[in-house]
Amino acid sequence: MKYSRLDLQLFNSLLSLPYFSHINKQKFSHKILRQIKLLNFKQSKNIDIITEKYVNHINSDLFTPLGRRLHSILSSKSLSEGVKLHKSINSKVENLKSPIFVIGLPRSGTTNLHNLIINNFDTHGLRYWELSSPANLFSNNYFDEKFRRFKSKFGFYLYRYLVPSIQSMHKVDMNTYEECWHFQKNFFLCYNFVIQ
pLDDT for 194 equals 35
The answer to whether 28 touches 188, Cβ cutoff 8 Å, is no
The strand pairing partners of 177, in sequence order, are 127
pLDDT of 142 reads 93
Poorest-pLDDT segment among 49-63, 81-95, 164-178: 81-95
CA–CA distance, 33 with 27 (Å, rounded to integer): 10
Query: Taken in order 98, 104, 106, 110, is the CA torsion positive or negative?
Result: negative
The pTM score is 0.58
Q: What does the pLDDT read at residue 189?
A: 41
Is the sign of the CA dihedral 99, 105, 108, 111 positive or negative? positive
pLDDT of residue 63: 76
Q: What is the DSSP letter of 121?
A: S
Q: Taking all residues of the chain, what is their mean pLDDT, rounded to a whole number?
A: 72
CA 126/CA 14 separation, integer angstroms: 37
